[in-house]
Amino acid sequence: AERAAEIDYVFKIVVVGDSAVGKTQLLGRFTKDEFCFDSKSTIGVEFQTRTITLNHKRIKAQIWDTAGQERYRAVTSAYYRGALGAMLVYDITNRQTFDHVARWVEELRAHADNSIVVMLIGNKADLAGRRAVSTEDAVEFAEEQGLFFSEASALSGENVESAFLSILEEIYGVV
């Protein structure tokens, strides 16, 4: 078999956070390097994948999308099963989505494995002029909760690759 076709690890990563924060677009940016301007909140595919190489190992990132189940407590425990990483996304222009981050942390603690690696993402960093959440507030929350943190933009692509790669490297370090 072709070496390129072999996969050494599959890492399941779940994306969580309120509706319309940009979860699906972050996934599209990382897996296909695209941003879809006319995307509806469609019931999409369950997950998307991208294979990367880390330390000469082929790692398939299998990234799960909530696809419209973001209402409080609507995401089932099956969604979290086997997840090694989580991207917890809020929108820097929408304070409420940041205020709800604590609930999503509770959900992760309740349903996901204790060792799950969680990265908090402040998305829509391209809209900094309409910012409603300071970087300092987010850094403080992330430190309190032991989460990694980055601001990013699915639209411009800023920090998307680095955020996903950091989480994959962190998972790789603990498997």
Binding-site ranges for ligand GDP (CB under 6 A) = 19-25, 39, 41, 123-124, 126-127, 153-155
Spatial strand order of the sheet with 148-151 comes to: 47-54, 57-64, 9-16, 85-91, 117-123, 148-151
Q: Which residues lie across from 60 on neighbouring strands? A: 10, 51
Q: Find the shortest distance in angstroms from Cβ 20 to Mg ion.
A: 8
The one of Mg ion, ligand GDP, none whose footprint includes residue 22, by CB under 5 to 8 A per kind, is ligand GDP
∠ at Cα 98 (158, 100), nearest 5°? 135
Q: What does the longest C-alpha to C-alpha distance in the chain come to?
A: 52
48 binds, among ligand GDP, Mg ion, none (CB under 5 to 8 A by kind): none
In the complex, least distance from residue 64 CB atom to ligand GDP, rounded to whole angstroms: 12
Residue 16 site contact among Mg ion, ligand GDP, none (CB < 5 to 8 Å, cut-off depends on kind)? none
Min dist. Cβ of residue 98 to ligand GDP (A): 14
For Mg ion, the closer CB: 69 or 135: 69
Q: Where are the beta strands (DSSP E) in the chain?
A: 9-16, 47-54, 57-64, 85-91, 117-123, 148-151
- Least Å from the CB of residue 26 to Mg ion: 9
Asked if 123 is part of the footprint of Mg ion (rule: CB under 5 A), the reply reads no
- Size of the chain, expressed as the number of residues it contains: 175
Look at residue 126 and give the partner it binds from ligand GDP, Mg ion, none, a contact being a CB closer than 5 to 8 Å depending on partner kind.
ligand GDP
Asked if 24 is part of the footprint of Mg ion (rule: CB under 5 A), the reply reads yes
Question: Min. distance of Cβ 114 from Mg ion in angstroms?
Answer: 27
Amino acid code (one letter) for 157: G
| Phi, psi torsion values for 47, nearest 5 degrees | -150, 165
